[in-house]
Copies of this chain bind each other. A is one copy, B any other.
Amino acid sequence: MSSESASAGQGALNRFFKPRSIALVGATEKSLWSNMAYDNLQRFGFAGPVHLINPKGGIIYKRQAAASCTAVGEPIDAALLMVPEAALADAIADLGRAGISGAVVLSSGFAELGASGAQRQQRITEAARAAGVRLLGPNCLGYVNFTSASPLWTTQLRRPMEDRSVAVVSQSGATAGQLAQFAYQQRVGFTHMISTGNEADIDIADAIEFLIGEDEVRSIAVFMETARRPAAFIRAVARAKAAGKPVVVLKVGTSEAAAKAAQAHTGSLVGDDKVFGAVCRRWGIPRVHTMEDLVGVADLIARVGPLKADGLALVGMSGGMCEIAVDQAERDGVPIPELQKETLARLRAALPEFATPSNPLDVTGGAMLKPELLETALGEIARDPGVGIVVHLFDAPAKIENVGIGRVFLKHIGAGFAAGGKPAVMLSHNYMPVSGDARTLAEEAGIIYSGAGLSHGIAAIGHLIAWSRVQRAAPRAYAQASPKVVLRPVGERAVLGHLATSGVPVIPGPITRSADEAVAEAAKHAGAVVLKIASADIPHKTEAGGVALNIRGADAVGAAWVQMMDRVRAAKPGAHIDGIIVSPMRSEGVELFVGTMRDPQWGPVIAVGLGGVFVEALKDTSLRVLPIDESDVLEMFTELRGSALLDGFRGSPAVDRQATAAAVVAIGNAALALGEELVSLEVNPLLVAGSRVEALDGLTIWAD
* Copies of chain A in the complex: 2
Cα–Cα distance between A432 and B181 once the two chains are bound (Å): 10
> Cβ of B291 and Cβ of A324 under 8 Å apart?
yes
Are A291 and B358 in contact, with the CB atoms below 8 A?
Answer: no
Do B454 and A331 touch (CB < 8 A)? no
Contact of A453 with B by CB under 8 A: yes
29 contacts between A and B (CB under 8 A): A108-B365, A113-B354, A171-B320, A172-B318, A172-B319, A172-B320, A174-B365, A178-B429, A181-B429, A182-B430, A182-B432, A252-B320, A253-B327, A254-B330, A255-B329, A257-B336, A258-B327, A258-B330, A262-B323, A264-B362, A265-B362, A289-B327, A290-B453, A290-B454, A291-B453, A292-B430, A618-B642, A618-B644, A618-B645
Decide if A350 is an interface residue (CB 8 Å cutoff).
no
Tell whether, in the assembled complex, residue A328 and residue B289 are in contact, meaning their CB atoms are under 8 Å apart.
yes
| A326: contacting residue among B171, B258, B319, B432, CB under 8 A | B258
Interface residue from B264, B323, B617 paired with A644 (Cβ < 8 Å): B617
A44 contacts the other chain (CB 8 A): no
* In the complex, A322 has a CB within 8 A of chain B: yes
Contacts of A265 in B (CB 8 A): 319-320, 322-323, 356, 362
Q: How large is the interface on A (under 10, 10 to 19, 20 to 34, 35 or more residues)?
A: 35 or more
List of B residues within 8 angstroms of A260 by Cβ: 358
A320 and B175 in contact, given A354-B113, A642-B617 (Cβ under 8 angstroms):
yes
Establish whether residues B174 and A318, one from each chain, have CB atoms under 8 Å apart when the complex forms: yes
> Which residues of A line the B interface, CB within 8 A?
108-109, 112-113, 170-172, 174-175, 178, 181-182, 185, 223, 225, 250, 252-258, 260-262, 264-266, 289-292, 317-324, 326-331, 336, 354, 356, 358, 360, 362, 365, 395, 429-433, 453-455, 613, 616-618, 641-642, 644-645, 649-650
A323-B262, A362-B265 known; A255+B178 contact, CB < 8 A: no
Chain B residues closer than 8 Å to A327, beta-carbon distance: 252-255, 258, 289
B-chain residues with CB within 8 Å of residue A292 when the two chains form the complex: 430-431, 453, 455
Shortest Cβ distance from residue A28 to the other chain B in the assembled complex, whole angstroms: 16
Question: What are the 4 tightest A-B residue pairs by CB atom distance, in nearest-first order?
Answer: A172-B320, A265-B319, A174-B318, A255-B330
Once A354-B109, A429-B178 are accepted as A-B contacts, the answer to whether A641 and B641 lie under 8 Å apart by CB is yes
What separation, in Å, do the CA atoms of A261 and B327 have in the docked complex?
10
Is there contact, CB below 8 Å, between A174 and B320?
yes
Give min CB distance, A159 to chain B, whole Å. 14
Contacting residues, chain B, for A317 (C-beta < 8 A) = 174
A617 touches B649 (CB 8 A): yes
Residues of B contacting A175 in the complex (Cβ-Cβ under 8 angstroms): 318, 320-321, 324
Which one, B113, B253, B395, contacts A323 given CB within 8 A?
Answer: B253
Contact of A290 among B319, B328, B329 (CB under 8 A): B328
Docked Cα-Cα span, A430 to B429, in Å, equals: 18
Given A354-B108, A365-B174, A641-B618, verify A323-B431 contact (CB < 8 Å). Answer: no
